[in-house]
Amino acid sequence: MPGTNAQVLWSGRLEEKPAAAAFAFQSSIMVDKRLAVEDIQGSRVHAAMLGKQGIIPQETAAALDAELARIALDLESGSLPIDLGAEDIHSFIEGVLTSRLGDAGRMVHAGRSRNDQVATDLRLYLKHTVPELCGELGETIGALLDQAETYAEALMPGYTHLQRAQPVTLGHHLTAWCAGLERDLGRFTDALRRLDECPLGAGALAGSGLPLDREAVARGLGFSAPTLNSMDSVADRDFALELAGAAAITMTHLSRFCEDLVLWASEEFRFITLSESWSTGSSIMPQKKNPDFAELIRGKAGRTTGNLVCLLTLLKGLPYAYNKDLQEDKEALFDTLDTVRACLGMFRGMVRTAVFNRERMEAALSGGFLEATDLADYLVRKGLPFRTAHETAALVVRDCIAQGQRSITERTLEELKTRSPLFAGDIYQALSPKACVEARKGAGGPAPEEVRRQIAVLRGRIRQERSTLP
Would you please indicate which residues are annotated as catalytic (active-site) residues?
161, 282
CB of 88 to ligand ARG, least distance (A): 4
Rank residues 39 and 377 by Cβ distance to ligand ARG and give the closer one. 39
In 181-210, which positions are buried (b, 16+ CB within 10 angstroms) versus exposed (e)?
bbebbebbbebbeebbbbbbbbbbbebbee
Chain positions contacting ligand ARG, by CB under 6 A? 28, 32, 88, 114-115, 118, 322, 324, 326-327
Rank residues 114 and 348 by Cβ distance to ligand ARG and give the closer one. 114
Rank residues 327 and 420 by Cβ distance to ligand ARG and give the closer one. 327
Rank residues 90 and 164 by Cβ distance to ligand ARG and give the closer one. 90
Q: Hey, which bits of 239-310 come out as E strands?
A: 272-273
Rank residues 7 and 420 by Cβ distance to ligand ARG and give the closer one. 7
What does DSSP say about strands 163-169 and 155-160: parallel, antiparallel, or unpaired?
antiparallel
Rank residues 122 and 148 by Cβ distance to ligand ARG and give the closer one. 122
Give the Cα separation of 179 and 200 in Å (integer). 38
| Whether 187 contacts 247, CB under 8 Å | no
In 371-387, which positions are buried (b, 16+ CB within 10 angstroms) versus exposed (e)?
bbbbbbbbbbeeebeee
CB of 89 to ligand ARG, least distance (A): 8
| Whether 431 contacts 408, CB under 8 Å | yes
CB of 115 to ligand ARG, least distance (A): 5
106-111: long-range contacts at Cβ-Cβ below 8 A with a sequence spacing of 24 or more?
A: 107/50, 107/56, 107/60, 107/64, 108/43, 108/46, 108/47, 108/50, 108/64, 109/9, 110/50, 110/55, 110/56, 110/210, 111/46, 111/50, 111/55, 111/201, 111/203, 111/208, 111/210, 111/212
Rank residues 174 and 326 by Cβ distance to ligand ARG and give the closer one. 326
Give the Cα separation of 391 and 404 in Å (integer). 20
Q: Whose CA is closest to 384, among 394, 392, 372?
A: 392
Give the Cα separation of 358 and 379 in Å (integer). 31
| Whether 372 contacts 393, CB under 8 Å | yes
Rg (CA), the chain: 31
| Whether 400 contacts 410, CB under 8 Å | yes
CB of 53 to ligand ARG, least distance (A): 24
CB of 210 to ligand ARG, least distance (A): 19
Q: Is the peptide bond before 206 cis (omega within 30 degrees of 0)?
A: no
CB of 354 to ligand ARG, least distance (A): 42
CB of 325 to ligand ARG, least distance (A): 9
Rank residues 9 and 342 by Cβ distance to ligand ARG and give the closer one. 9
| Whether 86 contacts 249, CB under 8 Å | no
**Dihedral (CA of 328, 247, 201, 101) sign:** positive
